[in-house]
Amino acid sequence: MGLSELFRKIYLFVDSFLNYLLQRCHLSANGEYGWKSLDRKTGRLMREQQPLTKKLKLILLFNPLTEWIDTTHLMRLWVHKKSIRKGEEEGTPASHNQIKTFVETYGINMNDFEPSDIEKYKTFEDFFIRAHRPGSRPIHDADDPAGAVVVADSRVVTYDSVAETKRLWIKGTDFTITNLVMDTQLGEHFADAAVASFRLSPQDYHRYHSPVTGTIKAFRSIPGDYYQVDPIALQSGVNILTCNARSYLVIETEHFGDVLFVAIGATDVGTVRIHEKLQKPGTPIKKGDEIGYFQFGGSSIIVAFQKGAIKFDQDLLDLSKQKIQVSVEVGMSLGKANPVGKKTS
């Protein structure tokens, strides 16, 4: 038996054992055990719905005593193979049977999507990349190019600098814009950028949209791993976002200068897709336009603005300083251009 198979057997044993304990203790296997979040629409402070077994496994793996395991080549290879295998399973007709239970478990409002009838999705993969019903996500001040909007149905934190982002949220030792895009010149262009970090859970809509109006300046796809992007993982010493597979766009704008959009894969995400037409420099884009989609699992998006170019909405800034995520939807307000500090070079 190879080491990869040994990892799989250990994982299955731990998963089964934790499920057994939950049953014995009469705890819900899929309650609000995730990171603290505030629902922007309702004002309700809650914890994200998350399997308790996943929460416990994250704590076991991403802590100062054991996080070294996550940096080993063997673990990275195992996670990668597991993600690819999961994606293949969810592309089969048999996976359709998962959809009804998934919708009921997470209380997904299918009236927001098109088609709304789950029987119209042939596989779980088709369901996973479901599209919004037109009009279900209005774009805030759609005709105002000086306003930026939320890029995904997700949980977001915003910080005015990379330094503050590292201090409060993304603790990986190698997190810099340069390492994120693997380009020294581009990294310097976004030195001490303001950062909006969006995190998508498996139950979320997994298409993503432009935060701003402008023109595509650059595109690049970077291969990598598929680590978890849960807050517990992000606040460990493991370099999650700079190791995971990702694709990015640079969008040139009139009011914000250049804006960096990075879509980052995570556990069980087999593909990070940017629509082909947006991979070509010179292509115009409007805020709210669909950029692409993730396949299969949880994922993350980083949007970076040049220093001084944006004033994030105050509610987002205030909650982020408390390390509280804000549950948001595509098209909600993210912030306004700051003409005084705007960079255009």
| Structure tokens belonging to residue 190 | 């976004």
Q: Which of 132, 189, 209, 255 is catalytic?
A: 209
What torsion, rounded to 10 degrees, do the Cα atoms 185, 186, 187, 190 define? 120
Report pLDDT for 208: 96
CB 241 within 8 A of CB 180: yes
26 catalytic? Reply is no
**Under DSSP, is residue 142 helix (H, G, I), strand (E, B) or coil?**
coil
Residue 6, sorted as left (phi over 0), alpha (psi -120 to 50) or beta, turns out to be alpha
CB 47 within 8 A of CB 58: no
Half-sphere exposure of residue 138, counting CA atoms within 13 Å on the CB side? 3
Q: Which of 37, 70, 95, 153 is catalytic?
A: 153
80 catalytic? Reply is no
The rounded distance, in Å, linking the Cα atoms of 130 and 110 is 10
299 catalytic? Reply is yes
Parallel, antiparallel or unpaired: strands 113-114 and 214-222: unpaired
- Helix-helix angle 3-25:52-61, to 10 degrees: 130
Which residue has tokens 């505030």? 38
What is the reported pTM? Answer: 0.78
Q: Which of 299, 300, 327, 333 is catalytic?
A: 299
DSSP codes of every residue in 246-301? EEEEEEE-SSSSEEEEEEE--TT--EEEE-GGGGSTT-EE-TT-EEEEEESS-EEE
The percent of the chain in helix, strand and coil, each rounded to the nearest 5, is 35, 25, 40
Report pLDDT for 48: 72
Beta bridge pairs of residue 132: 113
pLDDT in tens, the chain (345 residues): 555 555 555 555 555 555 555 455 544 445 555 668 999 999 999 877 655 555 555 455 544 555 545 555 555 555 555 555 655 667 789 999 999 998 998 889 999 999 999 999 999 989 999 999 999 999 999 999 999 999 999 999 999 998 887 775 564 557 788 988 989 999 999 988 999 999 898 889 999 999 999 999 999 998 876 544 444 444 444 545 567 788 999 999 999 999 999 998 865 545 789 999 999 999 999 999 999 998 866 688 999 999 999 999 999 999 999 989 999 999 999 999 997 544 544
